[in-house]
Structure 1
C-alpha cells in the first residue's frame, strides 16, 4: 500500500529533521523547503497529498502561502505546525484553508492525528486552543477590507513584520528605525483600525500583510473541534 506523500515547510532545519523522523514510518516525505515561495513551487512540482507548514517563514508567511496554494489546489490538505499559541493565528489559518493547527510543543501524536483527520476530510485544532477559538469566532472584530489600503507605507512594513512574527526590537533593526517608532506605528494602527489590543492587530496583520516591500525585498474549514477526532 502506498504511503501518503507529505511536503514539509519549515525554516528551522533541526525542527524539520525531527518532524521527518516522526512522519516517515507512516508517510513518504517528498521534500523539505525553508520559505514560503519555495513551498508554492514545490507544491506545484511535487503535488503532495498533504503539506505540513510553519507560519513564520522567510519571503512569504505560511498563511499567505496557503491562501495561494488553495486557489490552485483546492483539495490540498494543509496542517500548520507552529509555535504561535495566539488564537488569532489559528483563526487566520483555518480561514486560509488549513485542515489542522498543531503547536510545536504539543505531543508528537497530535501532528499525526491532524494529518489523519485532514486526509479524511476533517479538521483538527489542538485542544489547547479549541475552546478559545470557538469563543473568538463568536466575538471577533469586523474590519473592512479597504482598511489596509489606508495605512501608510511604513505602517504596512511594520504590519508585514508583525505578520512574520518579528519582535518590536527585531522589526526596528530590519527597518533601520527605533523601537519607539515601531511601537508608535503599532499604537497608531491599533487606534485607527479600532482594535482593542495588539493581539487583534496581529490577526489583521496575518490576514492582510502580503508581500510588502522592505528596501526592495519582497516579503512576505469553518473549524469544528468536535470533528477533530477520527
Structure 2
C-alpha cells in the first residue's frame, strides 16, 4: 500500500480552545506537528521542524503573528504562512501579504473555507477570504506568483508609478484605476521598498529613467 504524503502544519494561537479546534479540523487531512502559543515559539519550532505551512494568529504574544510571518519568510522561504485574524479588514490583509503571507482568513470563516484555503496555499497559490473587503483581493492578486521578495514590477504597480509620476494624487490615481487611495499607497510603498527608493522624488526619477512617463 502506497503511503500518501500528508503536508505538515504548525498551529500558532494563544487561545487554547481555538488552537485545539484548528487541530481537530486539520489533523484528519494534514499532520499537525506542533501547536504553539506565542510568536517566538513559532519561529523556534518552524526552524526545528521545517513544516510545509504555519497557521498563525495575527496577534500572538511576545512576537505578533505578522512580524513572525515576515521573519519566517526570511529564514525559511519554503514554509508558507496563513494568517488568521479577528480583524477582517483590508489593512490587516494587505500588511499580511506585504510581510510574505500566502493566505489571510478571518476567524469567522467556516471549517470548509479553512480546509480549502490550506489546500490552495499548500499548492503554492495565494488565498484571501471573500469575507475580507474586495479591495484586498486586488492587493492579493498583485502578489500572485510572487515570493514576497523584490522582483519585476507588476502591471498594476507600473500603472500606479506612471500615474503618480504624471503628477496625480493618490486619490486621483485611485479613481483612474478604480481602487481606493489606500490601495494606491500600498502599491507605491511596496514599489519603493522593492527598489530601495527613499522618497517620492526618487520614485519619479525612477519612472523617468525607465521611460514610464514622458515629459514635454
* 1:66 equivalenced with 2:73 (yes/no): no
Give the alignment partner of residue 131 of structure 1, picking from 111, 131, 134: 134
Number of aligned positions between the proteins: 145
Take 1:97 and 1:109, find their aligned partners in 2: how far apart are those partners? 24
Unaligned runs of 5+ in 2: 139-178, 194-216
1:6 to 9, 16, 34: 9
CA RMSD of aligned residues (A): 1.8
* 1:27 and 2:30 correspond: yes
Please list, as runs of the form range in 1=range in 2, the aligned pairs for 1:133-212 lying within 5 A after superposition: 133=136, 134=138, 135-136=179-180, 138-140=183-185
CA distance in 1, matches of 2:114, 2:105: 6
- TM-score, normalised by the number of residues in structure 2: 0.63
Distance 2:9 2:64 in 1: 19
Residues 50 and 76 in structure 1, CA contact (< 8 A), matched pair in contact too: yes
Post-superposition offset of 1:140? 2.8
Aligned counterpart in structure 1 of residue 55 of structure 2, from 40, 47, 52: 52
* Partner in structure 2 of residue 162 of structure 1: none
**Structure 2 CA distance, aligned partners of 1:121 and 1:2?**
16
Following the alignment from structure 1 to structure 2, what is the Cα–Cα distance between the partners of residues 124 and 92?
14
Q: Give the structure 1 partner of residue 81 of structure 2.
A: 78
Find the partner of 1:113 among 106, 112, 116: 116
Q: CA deviation at 1:3?
A: 1.1
Secondary structure of the structure 2 residue equivalent to 1:128: coil
Give 1 or 2 for the bigger CA radius of gyration: 2
Q: Distance in 2 between matches of 1:110 and 1:98?
A: 17
Q: Secondary structure at the match of 2:118?
A: helix
TM-score (norm 1): 0.59
Check conservation: 2:102, 2:121, Cα contact below 8 A: yes
Contact kept? 1:81, 1:111, Cα under 8 Å? no
1:38 to 36, 41, 44: 41
In the TM superposition, residue 106 of structure 1 has moved relative to its aligned partner by 1.3
CA distance in 2 between partners of 1:82 and 1:138 (Å): 20
**Residue by residue, what CA displacement relative to the aligned partner does 1:64-94 show, whole Å, maximum 9, x if unpaired?**
1011111111121111121111211100100
Checking the alignment, whether the CA contact within 8 Å between 1:12 and 1:34 is kept in structure 2 is yes
Quote how far apart the aligned CAs of 1:27 are. 0.5
Partner residue in 2 for 1:92: 95
* Deviation beyond 4 Å, 4+ runs, structure 1: 141-145
User: By how many angstroms is 1:117 displaced?
Assistant: 1.0
